[in-house]
Amino acid sequence: MKQQPMRQRGMALVISLLLLVAITLLAVSTMRSTTMQERMASNLNDRELAKQVAESTIRQAGLLLPPVAGSAWFTAALPAPAVGTADLWQNPASWANAGAIVVRIDGVDYTGQYLVENMGFWVNRNTPNCKVKDDPLCESQTYRITARTAPTAGRASVILQAIWRL
């Protein structure tokens, strides 16, 4: 008597299709994760570039102090902060008249904007116990420089401040 071959029921096909779906889902998930990490790295790089531009702008603006009357960015007395009013850098209209410095990083030009405020005379931190009536030179002219990267749609923007003493 002859034996009849066993009938296959397609289990191997079903299992292989399930494994194929699982591997595809894993691949799609990995691609999404990689894309997200790439975006995060790009945003971090963009922010660091903006920070470098703002830092360089502060350094270069500091070299322009004390301002010489009639210089390109100095047209009137430097503003001084007043109690009860918003700081100059918080007013968007102030940035329309801000100074601008072009910073070159890796062959690409970026524009940094800056505002300078006259903070008056402060006691030198190296001689904190000195008294102005005894030594008028123990105070030094102090400025607040606020710098930012020029706003660009879709790019990181950084605002930095520094106290600059002469």
Averages of pLDDT over runs of 10 residues in the chain (166 residues) are: 66 90 95 91 88 94 77 59 80 85 90 88 74 73 88 83 87
Helix segments in the chain, DSSP class H: 11-62
**Interatomic CA distance for residues 162 and 136, integer angstroms:** 24
Q: Which of 35, 75, 68, 55 is nearest to 145 (CA)?
A: 55
pLDDT of amino acid 11:
83
**Secondary structure class of 109 (helix, strand, coil):** strand
- Count other C-beta atoms under 10 Å from residue 101's C-beta: 20
pLDDT at position 162 is 93
pLDDT at 69: 59
pLDDT at 77 (0 to 100): 62
Three-state SS for 38? helix
Q: What is the pLDDT of residue 98?
A: 86
pLDDT of 25 reads: 95
pLDDT at residue number 55 = 94
pTM comes to: 0.69
| Residues 51-75: b if buried by 16+ CB within 10 A, e if exposed | ebbbbbbbbbbbebbebeeeeeebe
The predicted pLDDT at position 54 comes to: 94
Label residues 25-35 b or e (16+ Cβ within 10 Å = b): eeeeeeeeeee
